[in-house]
Amino acid sequence: MIESPKSDACGHWNGNGWFVPECPLAAWRFHNGRRCPPLCQETWSLLGVLEDDGMPFWIGLKGTSLRPTRQFLSMCHEVTRGGRHELLDCGITLSSQLAQGRSFNYYVVRFSDPRWLARSDAEHRKLKRRLNRFGRADIQSTFNAEQSDSQTPALAG
């Protein structure tokens, strides 16, 4: 499922509500008998820290999860623009919601309302230092290392 094409050259919506790809990179395809997603996909990666144990994690969001992600980040931008808070001061809970498509079910990410954390809290300062450190890490090398052990790259070729 895609929210909307990246450009008019990707494709169009037909009268039945189906996306008709016009670019070969926007179409679902078959490889070795398996249905594979389009090569041209927008994915946003977010860095978070678990409240329970302070462990960092990356989450990749794409497809129909991009709209709630954009809405959440836009709301955070408005709040942080005032100067009272930074994005790293925000605590949220991520959850998923089952959505029913025409031929399959899928999950969409949901963001809770943000809890703006006090900067004076010692635990908050510790988590913020950890996030700053991991935020400077090269996420692409992490993804490349993970994919080198999987068969996913072979499906894209």
CA distance 124 to 117: 7
Q: Which residues contact 71 (CB under 8 A, 6 or more apart)?
A: none
The DSSP bridge partners found for residue 96 are: 109
Tell me: the pLDDT tens digits for 98-107?
988 777 778 8
Mean pLDDT of 122-138: 74
pLDDT at 16 over 70: yes
Tell me: the pLDDT tens digits for 85-99?
877 778 888 899 998
CA distance 148 to 141: 10
Read off φ and ψ for residue 85, nearest 5 degrees. -135, 160
CA distance 71 to 1: 18
CA distance 85 to 79: 7
**Domain residue extents for the chain:** 1-41, 43-156
pLDDT band at 157 (very low <50, low <70, confident <90, very high): very low
> 32-56 burial, b for 16+ CB within 10 Å, e for fewer?
eeeeeebebeeeeeeeebeeeeeee
